[in-house]
């Protein structure tokens, strides 16, 4: 789950290498998408690769893209999927 100013963005990774991405704006309806994911070892470290990803928050994106989320453990040991390494922001397991 990633809390943003205007709502909640969630990515659920299933063991069968599929994901569900949802976004619920404050006071609005939930938008969903599905795709496949893989865990790859890249130069920056273990990375979750989301295939067929598109933004659900109204950000301009053309076509289907690949989205990379760097895997890091938080201070409490729970994995986090980092969206912005400079700000240490990302999805936190709920």
Region for 92 from its dihedrals, namely left if φ exceeds 0, alpha if ψ lies in -120 to 50, beta otherwise: beta
Q: Per-residue pLDDT tens, the chain, 94 aa: give them.
A: 777 778 888 999 999 999 999 989 888 888 899 999 999 999 988 999 999 887 776 665 566 567 788 888 777 777 888 888 888 788 888 7
**What's the confidence (pLDDT) of residue 58?**
61
Q: Domain ranges for the chain, please list them.
A: 2-92
Q: How far apart are CA 18 and CA 14, in angstroms?
A: 5
């Amino acid at each position: 789950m990633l809390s943003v100013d205007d709502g909640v963005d969630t990515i659920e990774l299933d063991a069968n290498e599929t994901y569900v991405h949802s976004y619920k704006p404050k006071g609005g309806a939930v938008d969903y998408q599905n795709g496949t994911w893989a865990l790859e070892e890249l130069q920056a470290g273990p990375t979750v690769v989301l295939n067929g990803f598109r933004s659900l928050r109204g950000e301009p994106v053309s076509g289907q893209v690949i989205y990379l989320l760097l895997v890091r453990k938080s201070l409490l040991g729970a994995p986090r999927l980092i969206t912005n390494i400079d700000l240490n922001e990302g999805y936190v397991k709920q």
